[in-house]
Amino acid sequence: MKSILVIGLGRFGRHITRKFLEEGNSVLAVEKNEERADNAINILPDIQIADATNETFIKSLGVNNFDLCVVAIGDNFQSALEITVLLKDFGAKYILARACRDVHRKLLLRNGADHVVYAEREMAERLAIKYGSKNIFDYIELTPEVAICEVAVPGNWIGKSIIEKSIRNRYNISILATKKEGKISPLPEPEHIFTRDETLIIMGEKKVIHSFTY
Q: What is the pLDDT of residues 101-133, one digit of tens each?
A: 888 989 999 999 999 987 666 666 666 666 666
Which residues, 6 or more positions from 149, have their beta carbon under 8 angstroms from its beta carbon? 136, 137, 138, 139, 140, 201, 202, 203, 209, 213
Q: Taking residues 43-53, what's their average pLDDT?
A: 92
| Cα–Cα distance, 159 to 59 (Å, whole number) | 62
Whether residue 142 is predicted with pLDDT greater than 90 in this model: the reply is no
| Percentage above 70 pLDDT, the chain | 92
pLDDT tens sequence across 52-79: 999 999 999 999 999 999 999 978 999 9
Beta bridge partners of 173: 204
Question: pTM to 2 decimals?
Answer: 0.69
